[in-house]
Structure 1
Amino acid sequence: MQKAANVAAAGDTVYVRGGTYHEKVIVKNSGAAGNYITFSSYPGETAVVDVRDIKMENYHEGGFTVNQKSYVQIVGFRVVNSNSTDNGGFGIVCVQSDHCNVKNNQTYNTYRSGIMIRSSSNVIVEGNDVELANHDGNQEMLAISGSEFVTVLNNRVHDGGSGAQGGEGISVYYGSRDVLVKGNEVFRGPRVGIYVDAYKGNGYNITIDGNFVHENQRSGISIEAEKRGYGLNNIVVVNNIVYKNATSGILLGNWGYGALNNIFIVNNTVVQNGSEGGGGIGLWNDRAKNVVVRNNLLSQNTQFTIQINGTPPSETTITNNLLDGFRNLSGETRGTNYVTGVPRFVNVSASDFRLDAASPAINAGTDANAPKRDFADAPRPNDSKWDIGAYEFSGTAVTPAVVFSDNFNAAFKGWTKTGKVVWSAAAPRIGPRSVRLAGNASISRVVSTQGYENLKLTVYLGAASYENKETLQLSWWDGSAWKPLTTIKNGSPRENGKLNRLTFILPAAAANRADFKIRIRQSGADAADYGYVDSIQLTGTPIP
């Protein structure tokens, strides 16, 4: 093979027949635009490059090495046993090169990275399988270091070695820029699944899109700028499925010193992370600015759904996320326009995180910062509204049914009253009549939710003439205690003498209950203090 590498010129393809070759290959010449030099296993066969105990002269050296060359492709090889520890120890290396394509190869049992792209540009790393990389050595399993205009597409990176000084699955670092990491599966690694780090350079325009990151021994996806004076800008994390990683699903780290700016975490599905301590999405970096967390689906992560633990809240925008398993951990936040409830995946045990037709994630997202396509490359939105999570639902969603409704127009019946409660024709009202509470008073009602889930409660509430400790509170009964949904106090925006439309997505515990109750109660009030109620509606989707 090396003899061929010595003479191959622009436009040549070197086919290597199946078998095992005990040699390293250093590419000696460059191709040209439209005329790559291609090294390829012969069609239908696999050439194995076994470099066990072969001496390597330079640090960035492996079974295949492309150093300061252009327009070279390495296609379809199996590179194994790169065990050199002083220098080399890589599987396939492109260093200080441009237009270097590494496609459909396998690397196995490498002391350092299976694939290393260092100080290179216009590179494609596609369809490779990287296994048992960092076997006692440093670096990362698939490394993009100090490079630009790189696409890392549809690779499998898994079952890493026990290296104590590295071992991240896919790492984009050292001032890399304009990098797309898309469609990869990263699993059972000894550290972080996908890691973005500025390190000793300013990294920017890095997109982590549509990857399946699961069962790694640290977090699924982490972002940090480790070295002082360097930073990251415009980092986009979208459409990823992050599942059963030992610590957090997606994490803005707190172990460095550099700046993070413009971090977008949007439309990811983050499920069952944190078995060894951690949770869903952790915003721990106190140097981060303009962090956007939107349209993410977080389900049954161990310690938290979304936690702010260092990142300034004023630098965060957290909206339209689905939260299944809110833990009330210190710093945990729901953000705004959130949805609660069981996400209803097609089949979690089979790693099928598509939404079924009754999922509360359907049509609950926002178009702001949303990607145009989903994890499966289907267009977003499917109809006029965006979904939450990595998958856009492609069928017809279940239409919510009305579980209970009362507009108080025809009569005031079925409610339990305490204190002075008036069925009133006076303003404010939506229709002919509303309900007015004067002084300390309440109304409550049993509403069975049996057979329904994904409950949404809409009600018009308001108050007037409050002072001191007067409150109007809307609550629901969970079988043992009243759970507040909202409280209107003196000086709050809804203490305005008007009826204000409020909508609440109820927790999963409210579903399928014969003893579900609604209560509106005015407390600490005198006869001249008023609370107003009108047009209550509870909707839900039938439980299959």
Structure 2
Amino acid sequence: MQHTLFFPMMIHGFGFLSLSASLVLPWALTGLVQGQKITESLFKDVPQSSTVQEIPLPNRKLISRISTATTYYVSSNGNDRNSGLSTSSAFRTLQRAANLTNPGDTVLIMNGEYKNEPKNGAVLGIKRSGTANAWIKYKAYPGHFPKIQHNTWNGISITGASYIEINGLEVIGNNAHINYDYAYASSQNKEAQSNRLTNGNCISIEPGDKGRSHHINILNNKVHDCGGAGISAKQADYVKVDNNTVFNNSWYTVYGCSGISMLDNWSSDNKQGYKIFVTNNKSYNNRMYIPWFKAGKITDGNGIIVDVSKGYRGRILVANNITYKNGGSGIHAHDSQHIDIINNTAYLNQQSPEVKKKAKGEIYAGYSSDVKIFNNIMYASPGNAVNSNMKNVNVSYNYNVYSNNSTINITGSHDMIADPQFVNASARDFRLKSTSPAINSGLKWSSLTTDFLGNPRVSGYAPDRGAYENR
């Protein structure tokens, strides 16, 4: 487990110069184009006409806070000796841009394939933080679909950095260049835990020398074929993992990994509302083929897991996700607390025969407390457990739909045992037919106003169960 400047804004900031713009603004704009910080020295040699003298300058503190935000461009046809400040002078590597970023900066990534250097630990290693009002964003250039291909520890690593957004990228691991025989033979060696070819993660958030990460958004990415985790966060706070497609991960690692995992969540403050969101993701075919070295057996390969977070004071929302054919569970909470698992669809997970199926489930909590599992659809293989209640305290199941061929270990007063009537489950279309008993039968959840597709969550007199709201 792991792992441009805005001239309108700047001119607005210089509103106090409106009466003498012809004297000051050309010099000021030259400084802006060069991406320099605007300081009091900017005004040092301005001619002191009577007009200017009548307008008081802002105090030193106000001026020192005004700074520019830079947009860097990266292209597979670029060059790291370029300025990186336009599409025609783009950098070649993501790391070149990452090493220059300051709060408020954006890195726009153009089409192409970006790979790690042989000894690098990541294609993109992020250690520089933004601020609450000036995030650092790494985004696909509009209309482009860049690919990060790696055979090292991480495609993208965020290490101790905060106020970071990763948006619209495809991260591809090394699975295509590994087979089971190699991975299993490697797992028997003393060096197994340090083999980056088999253990590499796609996107990993981890603590660093300067502290732990918080305020991280992982949005709209395609993440697949990593031997280790797909998307993982360890000891982080204020994390949003939204609208990602995560598949074919965790195959060859000797660590216990999953498609999406939140591990050992850290409380950066004492707030108790929702601070971690895992929403609107599709997670499938993530599974372990190699035993976890600590347990000596296959334990994970889940679609989504919140793991070992009993001390976390914030609340976690896991909602509107679709998980199917993962080796472990579709979604589960292990040794954790303060979690709401709402309106998800889990279908034919628990594919790994090594997992003790009757003790787990499609969606479930174990060794956990204060967990609500409501409005979900759980469809298990015949004889497999659809849910469970292992050493939990204050864990509630209600308003769920369980397939009628499943082993059901616990039911709530409004749970339903029925065929959910998917449009075409074999084609992975988990929308509901108009005759589905899941329609208009859920419990309204005030914090959830849209469905998996972004449509309004209630289109009838009550919300539907599962990830989709019938239109």
Pairing partner for 2:247 from 130, 136, 158: 158
Q: Distance in 2 between matches of 1:24 and 1:382?
A: 43
Aligned to 2:369: 289
Aligned to 1:258: none
Aligned to 1:121: 214
Pairing partner for 2:225 from 129, 132, 149: 132
Pairing partner for 1:220 from 325, 330, 343: 330
- SS of 1:91's equivalent in the other structure is strand
Is residue 304 of structure 2 the alignment partner of residue 235 of structure 1? no
- SS of 2:201's equivalent in the other structure is coil
Instruction: Give the CA deviation at 1:357.
Output: 2.3
Unaligned runs of 5+ in 1: 1-6, 84-88, 226-231, 255-273, 395-544
Describe the shift of the 1:75–1:82 C-alpha distance in structure 2 as closer, same or farther (beyond 3 A).
farther
Aligned to 1:492: none
Describe the shift of the 1:200–1:20 C-alpha distance in structure 2 as closer, same or farther (beyond 3 A).
farther
Aligned to 2:276: 179
Q: Distance in 2 between matches of 1:368 and 1:81?
A: 40
Is residue 161 of structure 2 the alignment partner of residue 97 of structure 1? yes
Q: Distance in 2 between matches of 1:366 and 1:74?
A: 37
Is residue 125 of structure 2 the alignment partner of residue 65 of structure 1? yes
Instruction: Give the CA deviation at 1:364.
Output: 2.9
Contact map agreement 2:232 2:261 (CA 8 A) in 1: yes
Q: Relative CO higher for 1 or 2, CA cutoff 8 Å, sep ≥ 6? A: 2
Contact map agreement 2:344 2:376 (CA 8 A) in 1: no
Aligned to 2:108: 40
Instruction: Give the CA deviation at 1:132.
Output: 2.1
Contact map agreement 1:320 1:364 (CA 8 A) in 2: yes
Aligned to 2:149: 80
- SS of 1:374's equivalent in the other structure is coil
Q: Which has the larger radius of gyration?
A: 1
Contact map agreement 1:168 1:193 (CA 8 A) in 2: yes
Q: Distance in 2 between matches of 1:293 and 1:69?
A: 35
Structure with the bigger percentage of helix: 2
- Counterpart of 2:205 in structure 1: which amino acid? I
Instruction: Give the CA deviation at 1:236.
Output: 1.7
- SS of 1:114's equivalent in the other structure is strand
Show CA shifts across 1:45-102 (max 9, x none). x24322242x24xxxx41111214324332334322343xxxxx21112222222221
Structure with the bigger percentage of strand: 1
The total of aligned residue pairs comes to 333
Pairing partner for 1:381 from 436, 458, 467: 458
Describe the shift of the 1:130–1:358 C-alpha distance in structure 2 as closer, same or farther (beyond 3 A).
closer
- SS of 2:125's equivalent in the other structure is strand
For residues 455-494 of structure 1, the aligned pairs below 5 Å read none
Q: Distance in 2 between matches of 1:281 and 1:100?
A: 30
Contact map agreement 2:72 2:107 (CA 8 A) in 1: yes
For residues 273-352 of structure 1, the aligned pairs below 5 Å read 279-283=361-365, 285=366, 287-303=367-383, 306-311=386-391, 315-325=394-404, 332-352=409-429
Instruction: Give the CA deviation at 1:304.
Output: 5.1
Aligned to 2:70: 12
Instruction: Give the CA deviation at 1:243.
Output: 1.8
Aligned to 1:431: none
Instruction: Give the CA deviation at 1:116.
Output: 1.6
Q: Distance in 2 between matches of 1:386 and 1:234?
A: 23
Provide TM-score, normalisation by structure 1. Answer: 0.54
Contact map agreement 1:126 1:152 (CA 8 A) in 2: yes
Q: 294-303 or 159-168: which moved more?
A: 294-303
Show CA shifts across 1:201-247 (max 9, x none). 6363222222222222221112113xxxxxx3321222222222225
Q: Distance in 2 between matches of 1:132 and 1:20?
A: 27
| C-alpha RMSD of the superposition | 3.4
Contact map agreement 1:64 1:91 (CA 8 A) in 2: yes
Instruction: Give the CA deviation at 1:316.
Output: 4.3
Instruction: Give the CA deviation at 1:165.
Output: 0.8
Describe the shift of the 1:39–1:186 C-alpha distance in structure 2 as closer, same or farther (beyond 3 A).
same
Contact map agreement 1:109 1:133 (CA 8 A) in 2: yes
Q: Distance in 1 between matches of 2:74 and 2:452?
A: 36
Q: Distance in 2 between matches of 1:66 and 1:355?
A: 41
- SS of 2:150's equivalent in the other structure is strand
